[in-house]
Structures are given as structure tokens and as C-alpha cells.
């Protein structure tokens, strides 16, 4: 473990009754790095965030913010900016009033409060909405303001739980730009996301949790390469009323589905596409009508998730602007 890390987690264990929510998790986040925390529901992501932010005392192991050991209950507001998934804004206060409140709570000096608040409003492009009450803002504006509340103290570590949950593409891109700028300025960022394309585009490295264990930690493309090598993924989309012969043939070849209801089957293989199609159509003539589409692509993070956990991704929220 190096002393230059912004965040160090060393052999962290959290046990509830006899259940291990986190089991011997160790990782580091460097200044300027964006680390994505991935995993299916129940993997331990929320428990990890609670431990990082001092809201949970681990059963064993240590957490260091820079070189300081983290102790639950102590004030680390100056070092950590935490944005939980659910909005933590005062609905009947204006945007500026909300940010002024959070600035004071995190130790910003009185004369610096208006300066920091104005900077944050400009950064999230809401200067012209500063005096609008939160309950009169759109969902996308509220999400940006919620993120800005973590920035006014200029923390060295940002901990963000689903920072783009439920927003449309334009708001998502602006939030991504904001996170990148803070990382470029030297902040370390830990982000939990179920959007795997977001993790691939935004994160320098990703940590994959499953059943409380750290299954993988690497750059997204490195993780894909280490998991799948030069293999391709073949995807077969079928009609919903699948003939028994084709159903058995897909299983025989090794195709898998994400669920029993899915009509998309996929297979990791080095076979040429024409050879694979020959395998599919062999021995029965009616298969062509039951197969709607055959495609091939390179694997991505969602396929790594499937490989390690059996789950590709969780359901996404409806977007708001």
C-alpha cells in the first residue's frame, strides 16, 4: 500500500449476524483517478460506501483517507464529498440556499461560502436558477444541484452513489464532464453505477463486487481482455415461441440466456460466423423462420459482469430531464 493513495482500503470485512457483507476487500484510489464500483444487487456496494464515508464500523480491516485512518463518528467532511443515490436537498429552499447550508456544514469559512457557492452553481450551469426553489426545478436540475452540494467544500475524495440515476442523456453527459474536471483537478472519485456503458466511458478502473468479495479490479478494457481474450460474442435473437429442436440445439452448442423470458441467446466463441450459423441450421430445416437475427460483437463490461456474477446489469430508472 502506497502512502500517496487518496483512499486505501485494507482487508475490509463487514459481518451482519453470520452474513459477510464484505469479505477481505482491499483496494486503492489515487488522486485524479475515477474508480467505478460495480456489482449486482446485494454485492456489498452500499456497505462499502457506508464504510468509506464513516457511517459504518467495519468488523475488521482499515480504511485510510490519504494517510489518516478513518474512524466512524469522526468529522471527515473536509476530505469526503458524499452524494447518496437519493436526493438530499431541502425542497423549499432555493438552489443557492441549499448550497450555502451544505458549505457551512462542511466547514467552509464564512467569507468563502458565497464564493464557493457561486463557483459550484456556475460549474453545474445553474447560475440563472440560483434563486429557484428546489421543488420548482426539473429532476435533472435537482440531480446536478445534489452533486454540487458535495463539491462546495472542495473535497479530496468524492464518493458518488448512482450520480446519473434517472436523468436524460444531456444531463448525464454534463455530470460526466463535471466528474472528469474534478478528477483532472486532483480529486479521487469513487462512483457506484449500474450503467455499465457509463463505467466503460468514465472510469479509469472498475472494481467488481459479488457476494461481498472483490472479484476483479482493472481498467475496463484490460478486464474485458483478461476475461475473454480474443473471443467474440455471438448473439442469436429468436421468435418467442421457440421450436423445441432449436431450443435444444442452442443449449447443445453452449448458448445462454439472461433469463428464461429472454429471446436473446449468446455464446462466447472463437468460431467464424459462417461456421456457427452452419451449426445452428444443421439437422433441421425450420430453424431459419425461428431465428430473427444473428450478430457478432466484441465483449464488454456487461459480459464481464455475467461471467463473474451471472447478472449482466440491473434495471434502469426512467430518465428525467
Instruction: Write the DSSP symbol of residue 190.
Output: E
Measured distance CA(247)–CA(261) in Å, rounded: 13
Q: Do domains 7-219 and 232-298 have the same CATH topology?
A: no
- 10 Å Cβ neighbour count for 295? 12
- The pLDDT tens digits of the residues spanning 184-203 come to 999 999 999 988 989 999 99
pLDDT at 48: 95
Taking the alpha carbons at both ends of the chain, their separation in whole angstroms is: 42
pLDDT at 144: 92
pLDDT at 321: 43
In the CATH scheme, what is the code of domain 7-219? 3.40.50.300
pLDDT at 1: 46
pLDDT at 249: 78
- The pLDDT tens digits of the residues spanning 255-310 come to 888 777 788 888 887 777 777 777 777 655 566 677 788 888 888 888 888 888 87
Measured distance CA(34)–CA(24) in Å, rounded: 22
Q: Where are the domains of the chain?
A: 7-219, 232-298
Which residues is 14 bridged to in the sheet?
Answer: 22
pLDDT at 37: 96
Measured distance CA(76)–CA(69) in Å, rounded: 11
Query: Which of 65, 254, 35 is CA-nearest to residue 155?
Result: 65
Alpha helices in 77-168 (DSSP H): 95-105, 113-123, 139-148
Query: Which of 217, 219, 169 is CA-nearest to residue 195?
Result: 169
pLDDT at 32: 96
pLDDT at 73: 54
For the chain, residues with pLDDT lower than 50 are: 1-3, 75, 314-321
* CATH architecture, range 232-298: 2-Layer Sandwich (3.30)
pLDDT at 14: 94
pLDDT at 312: 55
pLDDT at 130: 93
| 3-state DSSP assignment of residue 231 | coil
Amino acid at each position: 500500500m502506497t502512502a500517496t493513495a487518496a483512499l486505501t482500503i485494507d482487508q475490509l470485512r463487514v459481518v451482519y449476524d453470520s452474513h459477510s457483507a464484505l469479505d477481505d476487500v482491499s483496494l486503492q484510489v489515487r488522486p485524479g483517478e475515477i474508480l467505478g464500483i460495480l456489482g449486482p444487487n446485494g454485492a456489498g456496494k452500499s456497505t462499502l460506501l457506508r464504510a468509506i464515508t464513516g457511517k459504518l464500523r467495519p468488523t475488521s480491516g482499515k480504511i485510510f483517507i490519504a494517510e489518516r485512518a478513518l474512524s466512524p463518528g469522526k468529522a471527515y467532511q473536509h476530505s469526503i464529498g458524499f452524494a447518496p443515490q437519493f436526493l438530499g436537498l431541502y425542497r423549499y429552499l432555493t438552489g443557492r440556499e441549499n448550497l450555502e447550508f451544505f458549505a457551512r456544514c462542511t466547514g467552509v469559512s464564512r467569507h468563502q461560502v458565497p464564493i464557493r457557492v457561486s463557483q459550484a452553481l456556475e460549474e453545474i450551469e445553474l447560475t440563472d436558477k440560483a434563486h429557484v426553489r428546489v421543488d420548482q426545478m426539473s429532476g435533472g436540475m435537482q440531480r446536478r444541484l445534489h452533486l454540487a452540494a458535495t463539491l462546495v467544500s472542495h473535497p479530496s475524495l468524492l464518493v458518488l452513489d448512482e450520480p446519473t440515476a434517472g436523468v436524460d442523456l444531456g444531463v448525464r453527459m454534463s455530470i460526466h464532464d463535471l466528474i472528469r474536471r474534478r478528477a483532472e483537478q486532483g480529486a479521487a472519485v469513487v462512483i457506484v453505477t449500474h450503467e455499465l456503458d457509463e463505467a466503460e466511458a468514465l472510469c479509469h478502473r472498475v472494481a467488481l463486487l459479488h457476494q461481498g468479495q472483490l472479484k476483479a479490479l482493472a481498467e475496463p478494457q484490460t478486464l474485458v481482455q483478461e476475461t475473454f481474450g480474443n473471443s467474440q460474442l455471438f448473439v442469436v435473437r429468436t421468435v418467442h415461441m421457440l421450436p423445441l429442436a432449436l431450443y435444444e440445439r442452442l443449449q447443445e452448442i453452449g448458448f445462454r440466456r439472461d433469463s428464461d423470458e429472454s429471446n436473446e441467446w449468446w455464446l462466447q466463441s472463437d468460431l467464424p460466423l459462417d461456421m456457427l450459423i452452419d451449426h445452428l441450421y444443421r439437422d433441421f430445416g425450420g430453424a431459419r423462420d425461428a431465428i430473427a437475427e444473428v450478430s457478432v460483437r466484441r465483449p464488454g463490461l456487461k459480459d464481464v459482469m455475467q461471467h463473474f456474477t451471472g447478472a449482466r446489469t440491473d434495471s434502469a430508472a426512467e430518465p428525467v430531464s
